[in-house]
Amino acid sequence: MTAWTHVTVSVADLDEALDLWSGHFGLEIVARRDGDDADLARYWSLAPQEIHRQALLATPQASTGMIHLVEFDQPDSAVRDGAEVFDLCPKNLDIYVRDMPVRIDELKQAGMTFRNETFSEVTAPDGTRFREIHLPAHDAINIVLLEVLGKEMAFTPQGYAGVGPVITIVDDALSERAFYANVMGLDVLNDNILDGPEIEAMIGLPKGAALDVSIWGGEGESLGQVEVIDYRGIEGKDLFPLATPKHRGILQITYKTRDLQGFTESLDAAGHHWTEVGRFDLMPGAGRYIRLQSPAGLVIDVFQPGSD
């Protein structure tokens, strides 16, 4: 259980979202379903008719970093409507790309507008060199196109990969770090303090602000990570309580395990609260599901396929 299988994103218009994720980025539509879904509705304590359409997308041949797009009937406001970059919430989806300048030109020609004039290139304190640019997308989601220089990985023919990290903005990095290390059992893959004028300009921060950044997952896993950011010197609003159905935007991540009983026993031993959700036949996978939250409020489900 080193990488999450899928991130759930609620959208106002499934066709618009698919045009971006499948049409431009080339992610494969693994499954699509129109109309009521009794199990998914029950999973979220909704009426069946409140589920309108949904689709599951993945990088070809990848089983992690997938995106579960759900269109509700009469959806609520977006989690990040009017949010500042430092407000507390599940904020970004990082999408790996190759040949960043080429990708930017293609998307601009398709009529898309970036938050920055051009990409930034940064060398982290650990020596990692990366390029990134922010792309505001549907339902107030912020997509970060990310190119890690020298990193080899599988891409779609259009030059994209599925979601690497889901970025969460928190106000207590120490608590989140302890949770992912000791409760979820993940490895810290990257741990840096980012500051200085280039970072301020790239993200749009006031002078003197800094980012405490850590990335959590499994060694050798490029997709399905969690990136924790604590903006030092800035206090944001807590928007995590809005990340629930039927609000639009990033709602939760889901992991798959072969030993759910062992995981729940480890949660009990750590004194971390979890909730039995039940057995469901959902598009991303059928099995027994449980639910927990990170200290900041990120909703995390874990399921075991076919479990009794």
Rounded CA gap, 225 and 239, in Å?
Answer: 21
* Cα separation values, 239 from 8, 29, 79, Å: 17, 30, 7
Q: Show me where the domains of the chain are located.
A: 89-232
pLDDT for res 296: 97
Rounded CA gap, 251 and 69, in Å?
Answer: 10
pTM assigned to the model:
0.93
Residue 192 pLDDT grade (very low, low, confident, very high; cuts 50, 70, 90) = confident
89-232 maps to which CATH number? 3.10.180.10
Percent of all residues in the chain with a pLDDT value above 90, rounded to a whole number = 78
Task: With beta carbons less than 8 A apart as the criterion, state whether 174 and 234 touch.
Answer: no
Strands (E), the chain: 6-11, 28-34, 51-58, 66-72, 89-97, 120-123, 129-136, 142-148, 160-170, 187-195, 210-217, 225-232, 249-256, 275-282, 285-293, 299-305
Within the chain, how many helices (H) and strands (E) appear? 6, 16
Residues 90-100, mean pLDDT to the nearest whole number: 94
Rounded CA gap, 272 and 93, in Å?
Answer: 27
